[in-house]
């Protein structure tokens, strides 16, 4: 049995918590399970965060603070802003990698929406996400990927809304995988504003 590390960073504990949350729902999530995943004792988590709720709040705070940076990272990885938007959709689809994964994601979302402290962080994350999507849309507009008549702020809001709803409706129908389902809905939203498509239509 390998010795436990003397010091474990918050990032390592968050990674362990996230890994466990990807496999179990809120009811099955315990400090003991997270501690085993991280290779520490539950007492370490209690000393660091006070309780399971404290740990989850700290994890939520990390996600809310990093939402904008995450989208910026996608923009740097793709030469095309629209490609970055589609990559964001793919990342979001990871929450629905299977029907069971989607059910777990919605169970945690229920906590985020009903607990005032979690909801405050959820709203912060959502606002940062929408701002990041707007920057991608603006970049696509400036790069000539989108028609000049497109309104970036409204289109970003529509993309945010459609992707959230798309993930849930995939859970209803379960046709193909969530990534393809959500990509199709994103492309339907972007379709009328694509510069090349509108150019072909006007040339008929």
Architecture of domain 1-50: Orthogonal Bundle (1.10)
- CATH node for 64-202: 1.10.357
- pLDDT tens, residue by residue, 140-164: 999 999 999 999 999 999 999 999 9
**pLDDT band at residue 6 under the 50/70/90 scheme:** low
Q: pLDDT confidence of 198, banded at 50, 70, 90? A: very low
Domain spans in the chain, listed from the N-terminal domain onward:
1-50, 64-202
| pLDDT for the residue numbered 178 | 98
Percentage of residues in the chain having pLDDT higher than 70: 93
Burial class (CB in 10 A: 0-12, 13-18, 19+), 116: exposed
Taking alpha carbons only, the member of 100, 105, 90 closest to residue 18 is 105
User: Which pTM does this prediction carry?
Assistant: 0.89
- Of 54 and 3, the one with more pLDDT: 54
**Mean pLDDT estimate for the chain:** 93
Single out the residue of 180, 161, 27 nearest to residue 93, CA to CA: 180
pLDDT of residue 196: 64
pLDDT beyond 90 at 199: no
Q: Do the domains spanning 1-50 and 64-202 agree at the CATH topology level? A: no
> How many other CB atoms are there within 10 angstroms of residue 128's CB atom?
19
30/97 Cα distance (integer angstroms): 23
Instruction: Measure Cα distances from 144 to 72, 137, 152, 184, 194 in Å.
Output: 19, 11, 13, 22, 9
Among 13-27, 37-51, 119-133, 186-200, which stretch is predicted with the lowest mean pLDDT? 186-200
pLDDT digits (tens, 9 = 90+) for 24-33: 999 999 999 9
- Using the predicted structure, report yes or no on whether residue 12 has a pLDDT greater than 90: yes
Q: For residue 43, what are its two tokens?
A: 């007492």
Please state the rounded mean pLDDT for residues 89-99: 97
Instruction: Quote the pLDDT of residue 195.
Output: 85
Q: How far is CA 70 from its chain centroid?
A: 9
Q: Give the Cα separation of 168 and 187 in Å (integer).
A: 17
Dump pLDDT digits (tens) for 159-176.
999 999 999 999 999 999
d(CA 51, CA 17): 13
Question: Minimal CA–CA distance to 189: which of 173, 170, 165?
Answer: 165
Q: In angstroms, rounded to a whole number, what is the distance separating the alpha carbons of residues 25 and 21?
A: 6
Helices and strands (H and E) in the chain: how many: 10, 0
């Amino acid at each position: 049995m390998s010795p436990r590390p003397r010091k474990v960073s918050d990032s390592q504990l968050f990674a362990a918590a996230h890994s466990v949350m990807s496999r179990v729902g809120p009811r099955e999530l315990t400090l003991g399970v997270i501690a085993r995943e991280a290779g520490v004792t539950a007492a370490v988590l209690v000393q660091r965060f006070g309780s399971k709720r404290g740990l989850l709040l700290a994890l939520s705070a990390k996600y809310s603070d990093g939402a904008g940076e995450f989208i910026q990272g996608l923009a740097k990885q793709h030469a095309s802003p629209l490609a970055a938007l589609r990559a964001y959709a793919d990342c979001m689809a990871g929450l629905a990698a299977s029907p069971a994964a989607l059910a777990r994601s919605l169970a945690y979302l229920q906590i985020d929406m009903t607990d005032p402290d979690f909801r405050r962080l959820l709203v912060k994350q959502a606002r940062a996400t929408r701002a990041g999507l707007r920057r991608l849309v603006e970049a696509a507009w400036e790069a000539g990927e989108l028609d000049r008549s497109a309104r970036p702020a409204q289109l970003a809001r529509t993309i945010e809304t459609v992707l959230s709803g798309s993930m849930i409706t995939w859970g209803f129908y379960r046709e193909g995988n969530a990534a393809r389902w959500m990509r199709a809905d994103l492309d339907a939203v972007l379709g009328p504003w694509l510069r090349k498509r509108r150019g072909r239509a006007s040339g008929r």
